[in-house]
Structure 1
Amino acid sequence: MKKIVFLALTLLGCCACESDDLCDQTVNTPRLVVRFYDPNNLRTPFSVSNLTVYGEGSSTPLVSKATLDSLALPLRLENPTTYLLQTVVSGTITTTATLTLSYTPVQTFVSKACGIRTYYTTLSATLQNPNHSWLKGLKLRNTTVDNEKKAHLHLYH
């Protein structure tokens, strides 16, 4: 009788085990890729000097005093996301542009091991007061943010 109970418990234990799932792919939530251009030369990216980027309501910069021609910005699940882009005009004088991004987040289940991936559709972007900003305009290149291979948004300065 003891052997039957032991055998039954062993068999039950083996059947109750779950295999270890390993995520065999990279599952990243893509960021919004932004490229900077001179409005008079739309073919070649044009770097911004001393750029600092803050998420609205945050005192910790995502980018600090960098010179770059592109950047990748994370989008929140809560809609919209607003960024403050500051650049140094001269000395310690800065000017700030406000970029607001609206979109629809879409979450997809990849697997138990990999989890959930989020991408964004119906992207729209606006600049607050572009006539009084160091950023002179924008062009939305792609309304779906599902990878980081190409720029989604062009900003002109």
Structure 2
Amino acid sequence: MKKLLFIVLVAFGFSSCEKDDICSDETTPRLIIEFFNIAQPANNLNVTNLKVTGVGMTDELDTFTAVSKIELPLKITDDVTRYSLTLNSTNDLIKNEDILEFNYTRNQVFVSRACGYKTVYQLNADNGIVHTDNDTPELKWIKNIFIENKSISTENETHIKIYF
């Protein structure tokens, strides 16, 4: 009888485990930005010493070199995220800072019991991206911005294309 009770308890214990006890699904996606050559729009272009800093934050997010694609997190508690993108950031003579403001709506989506919820974003139709330059507006290094996909629900695709 004790063996039967032990087997029933062990079987009951294993039946409560589910395959989703480990989160393997995608969580809150980051904004994927890809850089292109303005003179040859079909060609990707690598950035040089691109320093990315969240506006209002004290720490720089990262400095990117020799990459044509970056991933930026958006705020999950606010509908606006601003970033300073400084090209050639290590050279004071040629560095150039542009500010990008991303305006969006947020939606919480249930992923699974193990993962919980993730935030997905939808860039606003009117002002999804606002491009400014603090120093000299006519010297923006970003020449054109194209929203490839307004819905930011996965990191498997490019959301924004920047031409410079």
Q: Fold conserved (TM > 0.5)?
A: yes
Give per-residue Cα distances to partners, 1:98-132, cap 9 Å, x unaligned: 00101111101223322101111134112114633
Larger Rg: 1
Q: 1-side partners of 2:22 and 2:90: how far apart?
A: 49
Higher strand share: 1
Contact 1:80/1:103, CA 8 A, preserved across alignment = yes
**TM-score, normalization: structure 2?**
0.77
Match of 2:131 in 1: 127
**TM-score, normalization: structure 1?**
0.80
Match of 1:113 in 2: 114
Query: Is the alpha carbon distance of 1:89 and 1:145 closer, same or farther for their aligned partners in structure 2, counting shifts above 3 Å?
Result: closer
Superposition CA RMSD, Å: 2.7
5 Å-filtered alignment, 1:36-51, equals: 36-51=35-50
5 Å-filtered alignment, 1:8-157, equals: 19-20=16-17, 22-23=21-22, 25-64=24-63, 66-77=65-76, 78-88=78-88, 91-93=91-93, 94-123=95-124, 124-129=128-133, 131-157=138-164
Give, as a single letter, the amino acid of the residue that structure 1 aligns with 2:108. Answer: Q
Contact 1:52/1:66, CA 8 A, preserved across alignment = no
Give, as a single letter, the amino acid of the residue that structure 2 aligns with 1:155. Answer: I
Query: Is the alpha carbon distance of 1:91 and 1:108 closer, same or farther for their aligned partners in structure 2, counting shifts above 3 Å?
Result: closer
Aligned length: 146
Contact 2:49/2:90, CA 8 A, preserved across alignment = no
Contact 1:85/1:96, CA 8 A, preserved across alignment = yes
Give, as a single letter, the amino acid of the residue that structure 2 aligns with 1:63. Answer: D
Q: 1-side partners of 2:108 and 2:49: how far apart?
A: 35
Query: Is the alpha carbon distance of 1:139 and 1:131 closer, same or farther for their aligned partners in structure 2, counting shifts above 3 Å?
Result: farther
